[in-house]
Each structure stands twice: as structure tokens, then as C-alpha cells.
Amino acid sequence: MTDTTDTRGKRGKWNAALLPDLAGRTAVITGANSGIGLAAARALAGAGAHVVFAVRDLARGGAAAARVNGSTEVRRLDLADLDSVREFAAGWDRPLDLLINNAGVMMLPEQRTKQGFEMQFGTNHLGHFALTNLLLPQVTGRVVTVSSGAHRWADNVIHFEDVNLRGNYRPTRAYAQSKLANLLFTLELQRRLTEAGSAVRALAAHPGWTATNLQSHTANPLVRTFMAVGNRLLAQDEAAGALPTLYAATQDLPGAAYVGPDGPAEMRGAPTLVGRSTAASDPAAARRLWTLSEELTGVRWPLTATVR
């Protein structure tokens, strides 16, 4: 799913009006009922794609899809429940051009998924890891995973000996770990796709500081207040926050590329290729995380070609 035409506007800034014609393409977006997921769904459907809302709450998903002009459908998916992930994938029976791993939770009080994983790692990473591998034999274009600038937070690493952070839990630590995992997952996924001879590309994106309801669920009331003020004064809107995802999904970019806003500190602006932390560029950590994720989810690399 690429576009090789000139994608720059009058002032050199890419925007959703420059999306290519996506008629006949199918996209699955997790968490498409709100925030940048809904904004991305609206843009892709407006460009002609058939957009599948993969959401926990069918009623909310249906209400959101009804506000989108274009071809849509709604399917249930709870990323915090691997049984739900398997059920969604088992029900998928056609080629898939674009999988956007967008849904996420942020800085929650300590909670567990249905299978007992720390909620942020389990939802943001493990759920998407399982979903991607289960759907991958039918993916024909791209996998775009939404990460965050939080992957850079001080001393952030994957806590391989205790990814569930039992006895070591902080909402910010858990969120940063999950966002780092998103980038390492993308890195290793692209390595495996390349080695398997697949034309599918894996990319990552982050929205900068975007005003959504994601921040309203954080555990610390002071952080919630700060986020609310920042959303009003500093953040960009959801449509702008979705642009890095849309750029990664449709432009001619290399595999494992990372897209974010071009403004100061990557907080806002037009989408562009951005850098990542040293920890997020570590191929050994990426392979180790993949192996651990297979063990935790029971979902294995699905392509027939052998990957070292």
C-alpha cells in the first residue's frame, strides 16, 4: 500500500487530503471508536478504504462507525483477552491490506488482563503481538503499530525478568515499557518479514501530544490535571494526531520506519520520519522480546519460511 506521487502540499506539509485512492483496500484499526483511531478510520474511509472497527464495545464502535462517511464494519476485539484476539482472527476470512495496531491504555492503576498480564504490557503489546501474527498470513500490505515518545522515558528498558512488574509497578514505568515493546516488536517483525521474503512492511508511528480521552484514565490525579491543561493549551487535535499513522500506512517508506510529528520535541506538526532511542533500536532485545511474547501468548511466527 504505497503512493509514489508528490505528497507535499503548498507549504511542504503532508496532510490527510493527500491520501492516495484506497478504493478496494481493507483496513483493520484496533480501538477505532475514539481518538486518533477514529480520526484515522474517518480519513481512510474517506479515501475509499473499507475500514473495520476492531473494538471492545460493539455499541460504542457502531455509534462511532455511523459517524464515518464511507464503507465500515464493526467487529469485537478485546486486546486484554487473548481468547478474544484468537476469536477475532479466526473470524477473518479475506485478504487484509492494512492492520493498524492503534488501541492502547495509558498509565493505569495496577491491573491485570484476563490471562494475568500487567494491563499495559498485555494490551498495548501482547494483544497486538498475538493479533498481528494470527492475521499475518492474510496481510498483503502493511502493519502499522502506534508507539509513543514515552518509549524514551528515563532508564526505560524491557524488564525481561519481570515484564508484569509485580512488586515493581509504577504506571509510568509500565506505560513506557509497553511503548518500547511496540518499537522492538516492529523492528523484529520487519526483520522476519524481510528474511521470509515477504513484501509486507512493518512500520511504527507516534501521534505527539494529542488531545484524546486516553489521558483521562491515568492513575495519578495530579497527572490527570496536568494532562487536561496540556490538552487544552499544547496538544493538537485528533485529526492531526492521526497523521503519522496515516503517513506510515500509505507512503513509500522503508520497513521498520518510525513516523512522528516534525515540530519541537515531536509534540505536534506534520508527519515525518523520526528517530528512536538506543533501547528501541536493539536487535538483540527485539529478538528476546519476540521469543518471550511467543511464550506468553502461545502464538508463533506464522509464515512458512524459516527465520533465524
Cell numbers for 227, please give them: 494532562
Angle at 191 between CA 154 and CA 41, to 5 degrees: 75
| CA–CA separation, 155 and 276 (whole Å) | 14
Residues 93-115 as b/e (b if ≥16 CB within 10 A, e otherwise) read eeebbbbbbbbbbbbbeebebee
Tell me which residue has cell 464515518.
68
SS3 category, 100: strand
The Cα-based distances of 278 to 64, 126, 180 in angstroms read: 38, 22, 10
| CA–CA separation, 207 and 33 (whole Å) | 17
Nearest partner of 239 among 212, 279, 273, judged by Cα: 212
The one catalytic residue among 169, 175, 247, 258: 175
Active-site residue, 175 included: yes
Cell numbers for 244, please give them: 503519522
Cell numbers for 58, please give them: 460493539
Q: What is the set of active-site residues?
A: 175
